[in-house]
């Protein structure tokens, strides 16, 4: 059976699966505070259908999965899906991205089902600012989720911090200290223009060079490291004498498309070759037909572009493709 290799010789072995577009938060960089139009429940892929898609992908070389949303933990019975995915021949890793609010109650069950690693969104360490960024929820619930993940045996635990100019950039130092003092991997992420490349995005965009500048200002000795477990595109660093590490994910200022190995499956049933562009392939007509499903995966390889052009958007330059109008929550983070 053919492998998933695109026109630019990039081999794809990683599928990100969104199980829902719903979320119990309304983070200001991800979705509007009010008026969000969620997909009807009947439009979402069932667990049976997700398993069918993954079975085809695994036969083509997909070995690593990430469960995303929206917030994946709002979908009932997620551990049952994980258990089924873990049993598919060829699947070696299943990780989870979550906002952590519901994780304390589900961490142990997910670990037993087959999730090996978790990424938890944490954009601030201040309870009041958490309410400002997330627009609802409580920081303590997330911190409880991090603690529960550690007790359940997840390792490494990665914390995803989206940096926003004028909002949380003054907490870079605190997050760096967390990466020094605790066995956590803090990942700073640039604010991406997914579905809303407007002036507000430009206003709050902050290049991650600021993180290394802050480390230097704090007198921290950092060194690059290449052995952080996971499939992510971060540039990783360890602080001398520290218990944890930190990473920089900079899709705008220094994109990593040349080593992209991932596809995305949206909750409503489309394969997306690239997060940024509009191109999608609906899997629903191919359900029940393994040959047709395989052809969709191969088609995704044919249409995947060399790179996105977020930096061009920041500079108001012309773009070669059409950007998606879907928000991150509708695609899968």
What is the rounded distance in angstroms from the CA atom of residue 197 to the CA atom of residue 202? Answer: 8
Alpha-carbon distance of 279 to 89, in angstroms, equals 29
List the domains of the chain with CATH numbers: 14-331 (3.20.20.70)
Residues 6+ apart with CB under 8 A from 46: none
Query: What are the DSSP calls for 202-246, one per residue?
Result: HHH---THHHHHHHHHTT--EEEE----SS---EEEEETT-SSEE
Distance in angstroms (rounded) separating the CA atoms of residues 54 and 46 = 12
Per-residue pLDDT of the chain (333 residues; tens, 9 = 90+): 678 999 999 999 999 999 999 999 999 888 877 777 888 999 999 999 999 999 999 999 999 999 999 999 999 999 999 999 999 999 999 999 999 999 999 999 999 999 999 999 999 999 999 999 999 999 999 999 999 999 999 988 999 999 999 999 999 999 999 999 999 999 999 887 765 556 677 788 888 899 999 999 999 999 887 765 555 667 899 999 899 999 998 766 666 677 789 999 999 999 999 877 778 999 999 999 999 999 999 999 999 888 665 655 555 656 667 766 676 677 776
Of residues 249, 255, 265, 251, the one with CA closest to residue 330: 265
pTM above 0.95, yes or no: no
Give the pair of three-digit tokens for residue 126. 């201040």
Would you give the distance in Å from CA 34 to the centre of its chain? 23
Counting Cβ atoms within 10 Å, is residue 178 exposed (0-12), middle (13-18) or buried (19+)?
Answer: buried
Residue-wise burial string across 294-322, b where 16 or more C-beta atoms lie within 10 A, e elsewhere: bebbeebbeebbebbbbeebbeeeeeeee
Tokens coding 213: 């500048």
């Amino acid at each position: 059976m053919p492998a998933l290799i695109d026109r630019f010789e990039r081999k794809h072995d990683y599928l990100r699966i969104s199980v829902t577009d719903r979320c119990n938060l309304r983070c200001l960089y991800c979705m509007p505070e009010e008026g969000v139009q969620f997909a009807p429940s009947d439009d979402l892929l069932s667990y049976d259908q997700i398993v069918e898609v993954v079975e085809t992908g695994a036969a083509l070389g997909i070995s690593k999965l990430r469960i995303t949303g929206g917030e994946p933990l709002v979908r009932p019975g997620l551990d049952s899906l994980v258990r089924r995915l873990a049993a598919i021949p060829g699947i070696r890793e299943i990780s989870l991205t979550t906002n952590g609010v519901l994780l304390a109650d589900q961490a142990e069950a997910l670990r037993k089902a087959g999730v090996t690693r978790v990424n938890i969104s944490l954009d601030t360490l201040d309870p009041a600012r958490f309410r400002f960024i997330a627009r609802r929820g409580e920081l303590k619930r997330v911190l409880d989720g991090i603690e529960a993940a550690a007790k359940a045996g997840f390792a490494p635990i990665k914390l995803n911090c989206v940096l926003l100019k004028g909002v949380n950039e003054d907490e870079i130092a605190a997050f760096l200290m967390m990466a020094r003092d605790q066995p956590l991997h803090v990942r700073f992420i640039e604010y991406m223009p997914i579905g809303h490349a407007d002036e507000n995005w430009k206003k709050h965009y902050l290049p991650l060079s600021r993180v290394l500048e802050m480390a230097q200002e704090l007198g921290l000795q950092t060194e690059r490291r290449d052995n952080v477990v996971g499939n992510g595109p971060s540039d990783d660093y360890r602080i001398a004498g520290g218990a944890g590490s930190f990473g920089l994910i900079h899709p705008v200022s220094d994109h990593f498309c040349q080593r992209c190995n991932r596809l995305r499956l949206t909750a409503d049933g489309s394969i997306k070759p690239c997060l940024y562009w509009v191109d999608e392939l609906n899997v629903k007509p191919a359900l029940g037909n393994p040959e047709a499903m395989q052809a969709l995966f191969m088609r995704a390889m044919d249409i995947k572009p060399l790179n996105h052009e977020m930096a061009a958007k920041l500079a108001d330059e012309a773009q070669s493709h059409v950007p998606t109008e879907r928000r991150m929550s509708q695609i899968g983070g």
